[in-house]
Amino acid sequence: MTEKRLIPVAGKQMVKVFSRIGYQIERQRGSHIVMSKGDNILVIPNHNPVAKGTERELIKDAGLTVEEFNRLLKK
């Protein structure tokens, strides 16, 4: 069974997942962490949990599916 549901995660957990696929932390200002990979930039709120819509958009912007993100999260 593939897990298509979003798992509620904190911003720090999202940073770890995106680091695994090559994103690097560029800077942090307040509660927002900026990560980049080439020309692609992600701004991750350091909230617990990250809002569902924001989480889904960040996953899509990183070029992942929800299933791939969940798999990387469980590693």
- The structural domain count of the chain equals 1
- What per-residue confidence (pLDDT) applies to 1? 45
In this structure, is residue 46 part of a structural domain? yes
Domain of 42?
11-74
SS3 for 31? coil
In this structure, is residue 5 part of a structural domain? no
Residues 15-56 pLDDT 10s: 999 999 999 999 999 999 999 999 999 999 999 999 999 999
Tell me the backbone φ, ψ of residue 42, rounded to 5 degrees. -120, 135
pTM score of the predicted model: 0.89
Task: Provide the CATH number for the domain around residue 45.
Answer: 3.30.920.30
